[in-house]
Amino acid sequence: MKRMDQDEDAAARATRVQIFGREYELQSQESAQYAHEVASCVDRKMVEIASERNLADPARVAIMAAMAIADELVSRKQERVRASDRAEAALGRLERRTDGTDPD
């Protein structure tokens, strides 16, 4: 959820969420349901990492969770770019075939 400036706070909603056993108040223009969904994702990742690696330090768990979530985000973004490139190449081949400029 993005941080907002003071000017945007007027339209923001405060939502209380629980992450890794602690309660936080989030300010967002998104719905409370969305805030809870995002917080739940972070909480699940932190619990998963703490359990898998037997970690108790919340700061370390938070950093590792942030890295894991960012890795997933970057990987998906890169895959979308590759898929878009493949689609554009296929469209180019199709256009060349339909306009008669493709020798195949």
Domain ranges, ordered by start, for the chain: 6-98
Contact 43, 23 (CB under 8 A): no
Which pLDDT belongs to residue 60? Answer: 97
- Stated length of the chain: 104
Give the span between the Cα atoms of 42 and 7, in whole angstroms.
Answer: 27
Phi-psi sector, 20: left (phi>0), alpha (psi -120 to 50), beta: left
| Tens-place pLDDT, residues 21-65 | 999 999 999 999 999 999 999 999 999 999 999 999 999 999 999
Query: What is this structure's pTM?
Result: 0.72
Over its C-alpha atoms, the chain yields an Rg (Å, rounded) of 22
* 18: β partners: 23
